[in-house]
Structure 1
């Protein structure tokens, strides 16, 4: 592991207090989200979507939906990480660039599409599970990418998902999984909290 990556992993902390008024340039947020799309997903389905809550007006709308947690207003932006329940329906489209690059061929894509349709088409639980997995992986990649660029982040699960869908007009197939705040930490922010020993959370069989 590179020293830089190890340093990021050992220092990254979830931030709840941000410097107000210090904004991340929009192009930097876009670059962080580009890096987030490099996350793994089943069959390279890429069944995620990122709603960036950036304006003061949008933050005010999100604030009560996130139970009035102050970081929604103080952070430069909050990214709503969504997983698409119907992502399996777009698999062939998502894999076309891999075919064009010579990584996959049409036969593989056809086989994968048949497997995905068989496993997901009539299985709402599988659709939801995969949406949550993909969105969660993308959220972690986003937070690590932010740390690498000197930007703090915090993952939030405390929000009304149905209220968020309604307020921001998200399609019913687009499941809000996590909120990730982005910004610059206030001096009162905590450092990374100690973790339990790996021996306490590991089994080898």
Structure 2
């Protein structure tokens, strides 16, 4: 978190797995805060969270209400496991917004399935190949390329460990290095495409001739 704040200035941590509220505990907390007795039954009663009843709904809500409205022009995602599938769902649901605002995505042992989720959308498939990279648990050293049978998927490299639970910590420094390099490449392309203002171009704008 500290490294991300230092390098990028802002961080949003999503919690797409927290989708239900224990109504009994909620009412008990409210009764303590208001000093009133709780009238709930002893058994727990779990209800879906508003705007967060599923991982997909949670992520789209955070995108619509926070990320898309932020002043940040360069957004990167780090997604682990099912989070990769959820990000692809966001990409499909908010295609143009995501493609314009997100410059890079780092996936860790992702459960996404490009062929199944994206289907016949070559433009999105091309974006995934260009802007995403996946680190997978493997016996090879960190960042070594791993062959993939899915040609339309993103480049895949080793996480430097065979343990799923250790993959996020094992890949963190490599991921930050990747995000830094892709942001630098994006900014370089943006600068190269910017028109160079010369004295003659200024004169033309003013209606003057040399």
TM-score tier (shorter): under 0.3
Please report the TM-score for the alignment, with normalisation by the length of structure 2: 0.25
Larger radius of gyration: 2
Choose between structure 1 and 2 for higher RCO, CA contacts under 8 A separated by at least 6 residues: 1
